[in-house]
């Protein structure tokens, strides 16, 4: 039996994830090709087929004592992602998190849980502040700073992020 390059690479990523995330609760086929710095003082749970891609900057997953980080099935992270939980960070299933995204539940003024529902896409360099909920199917545009909740099916855009319906974006693109 001859294994293809992709199969070998994925097998390597699965074995690597078992080492990187030791002490965490892992679903089936969690894989990591890129560098991920893990500091686990609280509980970290990664669902089935969660993946971390490689790139020039390491990602970090920090979970402080008494906190928890939960990531749903088939969610993917590009390089340079920073997730830090002092209380709670929950990310749903089938989410895509682009490079250089920062998600934290503690800021200068408060600590409050961050919740990202299923099927969310977060663009490059976006920042999610403490206490926000990103609704199902929402999109956070690249470079946006999210300080308030994003309703399901909406686009968050800007600093601070303002909300637009995704249909408006699609319709505008079709006209051009």
- The model's pLDDT over 55-99, given as tens digits with 9 standing for 90+, comes to 999 999 999 999 999 999 999 999 999 999 999 999 999 999 999
**Residue 74 to residue 148: CA distance in whole angstroms:** 26
The confidence score (pLDDT) of residue 127 equals 98
The confidence score (pLDDT) of residue 172 equals 47
Q: Which CATH number fits domain 5-175: 3.40.1590.10, 3.40.50.300, 3.50.50.60, 2.160.10.10?
A: 2.160.10.10
- The model's pLDDT over 92-137, given as tens digits with 9 standing for 90+, comes to 999 999 999 999 999 988 999 999 999 999 999 999 999 999 999 9
DSSP 3-state of 134: strand
Query: Is the pLDDT score of 20 beyond 50?
Result: yes
Query: Is the pLDDT score of 168 beyond 70?
Result: no
- The model's pLDDT over 141-166, given as tens digits with 9 standing for 90+, comes to 999 999 999 999 999 999 999 998 87
Query: Is the pLDDT score of 1 beyond 80?
Result: no
Query: Is the pLDDT score of 2 beyond 80?
Result: no
Q: Where are the domains of the chain?
A: 5-175
DSSP 3-state of 145: strand
The confidence score (pLDDT) of residue 174 equals 53
The confidence score (pLDDT) of residue 169 equals 54
The confidence score (pLDDT) of residue 166 equals 76
The set of long-range contacts for 61-68, using a CB threshold of 8 Å and a minimum separation of 24, is 61/36, 61/37, 62/37, 62/38, 63/39, 65/41, 66/42, 67/41, 67/42, 67/43, 67/105, 68/42, 68/43, 68/44
Q: What does pTM read for this prediction?
A: 0.90
């Amino acid at each position: 039996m001859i294994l293809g390059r992709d199969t070998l690479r994925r097998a390597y990523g699965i074995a690597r994830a078992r080492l990187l995330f030791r002490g965490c609760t892992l679903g089936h086929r969690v894989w990591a090709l890129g560098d991920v710095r893990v500091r686990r003082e609280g509980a970290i749970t990664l669902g089935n087929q969660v993946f971390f891609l490689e790139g020039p900057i390491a990602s970090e997953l920090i979970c402080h004592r008494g906190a928890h980080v939960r990531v749903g099935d088939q969610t993917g992270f590009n390089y340079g992602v920073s997730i830090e939980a002092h209380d709670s960070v929950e990310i749903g299933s089938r989410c895509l998190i682009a490079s250089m995204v920062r998600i934290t539940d503690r800021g200068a003024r408060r600590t409050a849980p961050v919740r990202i529902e299923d099927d969310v896409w977060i663009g490059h360099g976006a920042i999610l502040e403490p206490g926000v909920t990103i609704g199902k199917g929402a999109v956070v545009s690249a470079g946006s700073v999210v300080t308030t909740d994003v309703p399901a099916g909406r686009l968050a855009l800007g600093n601070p992020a303002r909300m637009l319906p995704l249909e408006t974006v699609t319709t505008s693109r079709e006209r051009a």
